[in-house]
Every structure is written in C-alpha cells, then in structure tokens.
Amino acid sequence: MALNACGGNQIKAADLLGLNRNTLRKKIRTHSIEIVKHSRRN
C-alpha cells in the first residue's frame, strides 16, 4: 500500500514506513511484491 501511495517510489515508501530503503527492498524481494511505477502523465 505504501508503494502504491508513493507511485512506486521505493525511497518515498521507505521513508513513509520509517524503514531504510535497503530494508524495504529486501522485504519486497522476500515477499515477491511486484513494483508498478506510475507515470505522472494521464
């Protein structure tokens, strides 16, 4: 949910969750979470 709220930006999502970016990346790999980056254009 944090990644969706941050448009797929891992740095912003990690900050939102109070985690280090590398810790978030490890959790993404461990739980096989798919990253979807959102375009700013509609």
| Tens digit of each residue's pLDDT (9 = 90 or more) over 1-42 | 999 999 889 999 999 999 999 999 999 999 999 887 776 655
Distance CA 32, CA 34 (A): 6
**What residue spans define the domains of the chain?**
1-37
Distance CA 13, CA 36 (A): 13
Residue 34 is predicted with a pLDDT of: 87
Residue 15 is predicted with a pLDDT of: 97
Distance CA 39, CA 26 (A): 24
